[in-house]
Amino acid sequence: MSRIGTLLLLGALTGAVANPALAQTAPATAGTLVIVPAAGEVTLPNDQARATFMIEEQNKDKAAAASLVNQKMKKGTELIRQADPKATLKTHGYYTYPVYAGEQQRPPAGKTPQVVGWRVGQYLEVTTTSLDGLPKTVASAQSVLALNGLQFGLADATRKKLDQQRIDAAYRNLIERVAAIARAMGREAGDAVIDTVDFEASGAYAPTDAAPKMLRAAMASEAAPVEEPSFEAGETTLSMRLVGKVKFK
């Protein structure tokens, strides 16, 4: 190699060491397709309660047990309607089971257990948005029925109103994440073109979403009269997940 060639080579190497950006060129990102998951959440105080009441009676006479259940359920339903006329009521889970002698023990092989009575019961589901009057309603019903479960959440009308807010929050998060990814790639946010937005997050790349969070409580006491219980309705967080396909120019 000539003296001039040697000097040119040394000069190039020296420049590369002095400027690492010349020694290592960033990989090209033009045409890169990026899958970007995003999510948005809206939290509101719960405005609906779903209470489940029950009554169960046991008697040697099946008809007598059924009559007691029917009478008490009718009385409890009347009390609830008086306390909360706007509540939605739904009866379900009516059951009749035989009670066997020594049912806690397995009968001897080959022998049929003896029926000594009958257990009859029924459930009543009450849905209401009158949360301020809920303690009074529950206490009134508990003079006849037992409170089997209590669940707070958002009314359907409220959930529908929140759809726009969830969409806005999720899309805003997508734009923010695209801008962050562009900066990490050494590109301008304007170089990113959104190709597809999947608001259902239905692809295999979509994260799984947990069920909306609910505040739950359970009570099973019965007395007459009953002091009003205390409830805290809590909050519900509604989330929306989306996935965007972004291509860089």
CB 15 within 8 A of CB 202: no
Q: How many CA atoms lie within 13 A of 136 on its CB side?
A: 9
List pLDDT tens digits, range 141-157: 999 999 999 999 999 88
Domain ranges of the chain: 29-45+154-211+233-249, 48-153
pLDDT at position 22:
39
* 5 vs 202, higher pLDDT: 202
List pLDDT tens digits, range 81-124: 999 999 999 998 899 999 988 754 555 666 777 889 999 999 99
Q: Which residues contact 125 (CB under 8 A, 6 or more apart)?
A: 50, 51, 52, 53, 89, 90, 91, 92
Q: 15-19, 125-129, 160-164: which has the minimum mean pLDDT?
A: 15-19
Task: Give the other-Cβ count within 10 Å of 53's Cβ.
Answer: 25
The whole-angstrom separation of Cα 153 and Cα 217 is 12
pLDDT at position 174:
85
pLDDT at position 70:
92
Looking at residue 138, the DSSP 8-state letter turns out to be H
Looking at the structure, give the CATH architecture of the domain made up of residues 29-45+154-211+233-249: 2-Layer Sandwich (3.30)
Q: What is the pTM of this model?
A: 0.62
> What are the beta bridge partners of residue 122?
55
Helices (H), the chain: 3-18, 20-23, 62-83, 134-142, 156-161, 163-184
pLDDT at position 205:
52
The whole-angstrom separation of Cα 191 and Cα 181 is 11
- Would you tell me which CATH number, out of the four given (1.10.150.130, 3.60.20.10, 3.30.70.2970, 3.40.50.970), belongs to the domain 48-153? 3.30.70.2970
The whole-angstrom separation of Cα 176 and Cα 182 is 10
List pLDDT tens digits, range 197-213: 777 766 655 444 444 44
The whole-angstrom separation of Cα 148 and Cα 146 is 6
